Each structure stands twice: as C-alpha cells, then as structure tokens.
Amino acid sequence: MGNRYTGKTFIGEIFAILLGLVFLVPFYYLISNSLKPFAEILTNTSALPKTFMLDNYVNAFEKLNYLKVFTNSIIITAISNVVLVVFCSMAAYMLVRTKKKISNVIFMTFVAAMIIPFQSIMIPLIKTAGNFGLLNSIWGLVIMYLGFGSGMTIFLYHGFIKGIPVELEEAAIIDGCTRFGVFWRIVFPLLKPITVTIVILNSLWIWNDYLLPSLVLQDPELKTIPLATFSFFGQYTKQWDLALAGLVLGIIPLLIFFFSMQKHIIKGITSGSIK
Amino acid sequence: MELWEVQSVNNQSELESSALPGKASIKISESASLNKKKKLKDAGLFTLFVGPVFLAFTIIVLIPFFTGIYYAFTDWNGITGDIKWVGLDNFKYLFTEDKQFQDSFILTTKYTVVAIVLTNVIGFGLAILVTQMLKTRNILRTVFFMPNMVGGLLLGFIWQFIFVKGFASLGQLTHIPFFELPWLGDANTAFWGIVIVSVWQGAGYIMIIYIAALQNVPQELIEAAKIDGANRWQILRHITMPLVAPAVTVCLFLTTASSFKIFDANLSLTGGGPFKSTEMLALNIYTEAFVNNRYGIGEAKALIFFIVVAAITILQVTISKKREVES
C-alpha cells in the first residue's frame, strides 16, 4: 500500500521472509533427509546431511520403476489434454454458434454436472465402465478424463467463443471454406489464450489424480506416478530413506513444470477460479 | 430438423426459405430439396462437433449418476448380479445405526469450517503481505504458492514424515511442547495435522485470487484516505475489504467445496486413523464400497454427499448472482 520503503516495510519484509521459510520447512526436511543413509535419518533428522549421497535415489528409481511410471503419467496427461481440447473446443464452438434450444439444453447439462463430486458416482462408474470395456486401459482412462473434464473445459471455451465476432467466419464461408475448415483454421487459433489456461488446469488435475486411476488401472505396467508412490509408500513404510527419495522423484516433474510455466499457471488459476 | 439450423447461414435465399419451410417445399421443389439437404448437413455437422464429447460425458457421468441413485435404494454388493430393491433401508441404517458415518459427517463439517476460516484468513494475510512494496515479494509469492502444485496424495506422505520424524526431532532439540505432541498417533492432534497440511497447501492458491482482487483496488482511493488521516487498519477495514468482497465470496466457496470433498491428503496422511477417528466422508464412502463391498450403502452415502455438495454450490451461485445484480 505504501509507496516508500519505510522502517515498517522493513519489519514487514523480515516477517514475510520468516513466514516464507516456515512454508519451505517441509521441503527442507524432505530433500535433506532423502540424501541421508537410514541411520542418519533416525538420529539427525533436522540436520543437513553429513555427506551428499544419491544411493537412495538410485534405489528408489529402480524400485519405483520410475521411467515406466513417469512415461505412463506423461502419456495419460498428454493424450487426455489433446482429446479434451479437440472435442471440447469443437463442441463449445458449435453450441455457441447454433442458436437453438438444444444447444442451450446440452450446455446447461454439461455445466450442471460440474457440481457432481467424483465420489458420488465412482461406484456405479466402475460398473458402467466395465460394461463398456473401459477398465484397465489407458484409452479407457482417457475417455473418463474426457467425460469428467468436459464440463469445465466446455464452460471455459464457451465463455471465450461468445466474445469472438462471427463476421470472420462468414467471410471464410463465402470464400468456400467448410465449417470444419473455418473452425480449425480461423477460430481455433484465436482460442490460444484460453487453451493455455485449460491445458494447465487439466494437466495439474490429471497428473496429480490418484483416485480415478487407482480404480481403473489394475495392471502394474500401467501405473502412474501417484499410484506407484502410493504402493511404494505402503510397501516401504518406515523405510524413510527409500520413501523420501521416491517422493522427491514424484514431485520433481511438477516443480519443473511450475518453474517453467509459472506465469501461465498463475494466470490460468486466476481466470479459472472466477467462473 | 429445424433445431439444427445454424445461425451463420448467409445465403439469402436459403435463409428465407428456411424461415418458411412448408411454403418453400410446395412452391420451389428444387430449393426445398436443397434446403433439406442443408439442414441435414447442419445436423450432421452439429453431431460431428458435439457428439463425441457428449457420448463420453453420457457414459462417464450421466449413466453412472442416474444408476447410482437407483443403487442407493438396493442391497447391491458389487459382486453378485443379484440386486434387490430395499427402499429406504440404507438411509434408515445410515441415520440410526451407522455410527461411523455420522461421526465422519460431523468430523467433515468441523474440518470444513476450520479449514475455510484458516485458509482464507492466512491466504488473505499473505496476499496483503506480498502486495506491499517488499523487495522479496515475487519470490515470496512463488514460495507460498508452491505447495499447491503438488497433489494432496504426495503432500500427505511428505507431511507424514514431518509429523512422525521431523516434529519429534524438533521437539528433542527445542523442547517446545507443540512439537512433542503425539500428532498422528492421537485422534485430536491427527485432525489438526490434516488441517495444517490442507491450509499449507490451500493458502497459496487462495492468496493468488486475493492478490488479483487487491490489485484491482484503485490506488487513488487509498491515497485519498491517507490524506484524510486514515491509518492502515482503517484503510484495510473500510476501503480494501469492501472492494475485495466478491473475491471473498469466490474463495469461501472454493474452500468449502474442496474441504468438504477432501480425500487424497486424508488417505495418505492418516488413512483415517488412528482407529478411523479421522475418516472424512469421501474416505468413508470409498471404504464402504471398495473395502466392505457394500455398494448399496456406499451409494446411499454418496447420494447424501452429492446433495450436500450440490446445496453448497447452488447457494454459491445464487449469492454471486445476487451480488452481480446489486453492484
């Protein structure tokens, strides 16, 4: 609020920095202990590691089957994002441009369904998904993410497309462009800002999701990072050296994503939350 | 078929004939068949654009939602195909006999209230702090927001270590009673453990929204108040707070919904323990269905869960709409 750097501001700064350090303490404990041998974790939990040891990481990397689960997470998140962006942007576009009652009814159904919490439909979902052969496959999971993510994604695209003037498209149609061509060549490129927001919000959700994949993917070969971390932690309870290194491996991709996309993430969250 | 008519038709003759479909088909047969073809094409396009996602949505959300309501009134156990209609028996059981469900419900409500207050107060405080002229404000924003990137499941595990080993070690070093508490080993402190983790995770998220709101407060107003001799607290109370009120509504409901639905951190931090004393509603539903294999009862709980969440959301929408009209 003040424009000058006063003594009061300085005290505020010191306080803020101390608070920031408190926020970082869990990360300090996590990382410093992941570098210690087991005995040292037990005796010197709060101290910095005496030697810089990466054995835990090598061990956890192998036992977690990290390369495999990391690839699974990437594949599932990437394909789900592509599918969500492609089908939801197309649907939202058609729902905005078709001024008919049915468009409104369909749009309202998508929006209304956003309030259904996952836990209240997960039980019958597993049965329905079984009937449609969607269990235990990455494609099945992707279709589920399309279903669950469609509400918010269509909602955000819908609001954005409403603000795009229709004249551009009309000109293209006169020039002989098909509706399909109009959408992909003219409209879709204009959606870039909202697409970035949508991809960020959906990526964070899908990457971190535990419950849905835990119900759908039984095959150990298909495990994602949260699933692998969960069973790893269960298997090595109290074997903190392995468990902590595994956790660090689990959060590294997220932190890299965060630091490289920070601006977009913050913008995405601000615009995504004020729906 | 008229339903599928697309607005951006710009061929004038087609527009006219589609406005009077009956007349057109009698008078000019050629144009009528063209018109019919066009409508068919539009219907096809509509289906092509909207169909795929609507199909997925129907299979994944709509069918399970409606069959779920039906299962809530049955004795389905998930294994045998033999499903019997039991009327309101499941609900009667939940309200009269299922002590665990009632405890979970009360606990979740209590947790939600505590988490809403703490997350918002701390989130707002952080936002005020990092919108001052601090030299470190950008890096501090990053620090406060960072826990939000990591999903609840991994955060719960990280904090399990902090509570079990980290706090114990700090207790030995400093002898501060706070660190010497049993934390995850006791029902009461384990509850506060979950609160700490979720506030630590959620405050940064809420902070981001409050920052956006605070930056929209016109500086002139604050300057004017300063000239009139208002102190910091008066400015905060009488100028800043009323202007960020819409953001407060958004944040209150965001935290309400997410707190009431807590699952991941609950599962990984305490697993509902010790002795199911920290089992929140979502975890209780999960256990009923997938551990006890009582799908019918689980679905009855899920239905109650849905009704509560839906009521909160509808309340939110009504209040924000009302505010929009007023302002």
* Residue spans of alpha helices (H) in chain B: 12-19, 21-27, 29-57, 63-71, 89-96, 99-130, 137-145, 152-161, 167-174, 187-215, 219-227, 232-235, 241-243, 245-260, 264-269, 281-286, 295-326
Q: What is the ipTM of this complex?
A: 0.88
Q: Give how many domains chain B has, as a whole number.
A: 2
The predicted pLDDT at position B16 comes to 41
Q: How much is the average pLDDT of B29-58?
A: 85
- For chain B, report the end-to-end CA distance as a whole number of angstroms: 42
Q: Note down the domain range covering B8.
A: 2-71
Q: Is it the case that residue B20 has pLDDT exceeding 70?
A: no
Judged against a pLDDT cut of 80, whether residue B51 lies above it is answered with: yes
pLDDT tops 50 at residue B3: no
Note the pTM of the prediction, 2 decimals.
0.85
Residue of B nearest to A270 (CA): B209
Percent residues over pLDDT 90 in chain A: 46
Task: Kindly determine whether residue B154 and residue A229, on different chains, have CB atoms separated by under 8 Å.
Answer: yes
pLDDT(B29) > 70:
no
* A269 and B CB contact within 8 Å: yes
Q: What does each C-alpha distance from B116 to A231, B123, B189, B243, B254 come to in angstroms?
A: 31, 10, 18, 20, 9
B172 shares its domain with B312: yes
**Chain B contact set for A173 (CB, 8 A):** 8, 10
Residue A125 contacts B where some CB pair is shorter than 8 Å? yes
Interface with A, mutate which of B6, B57, B248, B284 (most A CBs under 10 A): B57
Distance from CA of B316 to the nearest CA of A (A): 11
pLDDT per residue as tens digits for the range B135-186: 888 899 999 999 988 888 999 999 999 998 888 888 888 888 888 788 888 8
Instruction: Summarize pLDDT for B202-231 with one digit per residue, the tens.
Output: 999 999 999 988 888 888 888 888 888 888
Interface of A with B in 238-257 (CB under 8 A): 240, 243-244, 247, 250-251, 254-255, 257
Evaluate whether residue B82 is within a structural domain. Answer: no
Domains in chain A: how many in total? 2
**Shortest distance, CA A139 to any CA of chain B (angstroms):** 12
B323 pLDDT higher than 90: no
Asked whether residue B122 is assigned to any structural domain, the reply reads yes
Residue whose pair of structure tokens reads 């994002």 in the numeric block = A81
Residue A216 domain-assigned (yes or no): yes
A93: closest chain B residue by CA = B49
Res B135: pLDDT? 84
Cα–Cα distance list, B93 to B72, B100, B154, B290, B306 (Å): 12, 11, 35, 19, 18
Closest partner residue to B303 (CB to CB) among A120, A129, A154 is: A120
Nearest CA in chain A to B255: A273
Contacts with B16 (C-beta within 8 Å, 6 or more apart), sequence order: B24
Q: Determine how many CB atoms are found less than 10 A away from the CB of residue B70.
A: 14
Chain A's closest residue to B70, CA to CA, is: A124
pLDDT attached to residue A165: 87
Is the domain of A82 the same as that of A182? yes
Do B60 and B170 lie in one domain? The reply is: no
pLDDT greater than 80 at residue B128 = yes
B105 and B6, same structural domain?
no
Cβ contact (<8 Å) for A258 and B149? yes
- A166 and A33 housed in the same domain: no
Decide if B306 and A269 are in contact by the 8 Å CB cutoff.
no
Whether A30 and A130 share a structural domain: no
What local confidence, expressed as pLDDT, does residue B12 receive?
40
Q: In chain B, what residues touch A1 (CB-CB under 8 Å)?
A: 131-132, 222, 232, 235
Tell me the pLDDT band of B327, cut-offs 50, 70 and 90.
Answer: low
Residue A273's pLDDT is what? 66
Question: A119: domain range?
Answer: 59-273
Q: Are residues A243 and A161 in the same domain?
A: yes
Q: How confident is the model at residue B316 (pLDDT cuts 50, 70, 90)?
A: confident
Question: Rounded to an integer, what distance in angstroms lies between the CA atom of residue B8 and that of residue B6?
Answer: 6
Q: Is residue A1 part of a domain?
A: no
Query: What percent of chain B stands above pLDDT 70?
Result: 88
For the segment B73-102, the average pLDDT, to the nearest whole number, is 83
Q: Are B56 and B157 in a shared domain?
A: no
Pick the more confident residue, B254 or B125: B125
Mean pLDDT of chain B: 83
Establish if A2 belongs to a structural domain: no
Inside any domain, residue B248: yes
- Residue B76 domain flag: no
Are B191 and B111 a contacting pair, CB within 8 Å? yes
Query: Does one domain contain both A13 and A117?
Result: no
Q: Is the pLDDT of residue B15 over 60?
A: no
Does pLDDT of A87 surpass 80? yes
pLDDT of the residue at B25: 45
Same domain, A158 and A208: yes
Nearest to A119 among B135, B235, B305 (CB): B305
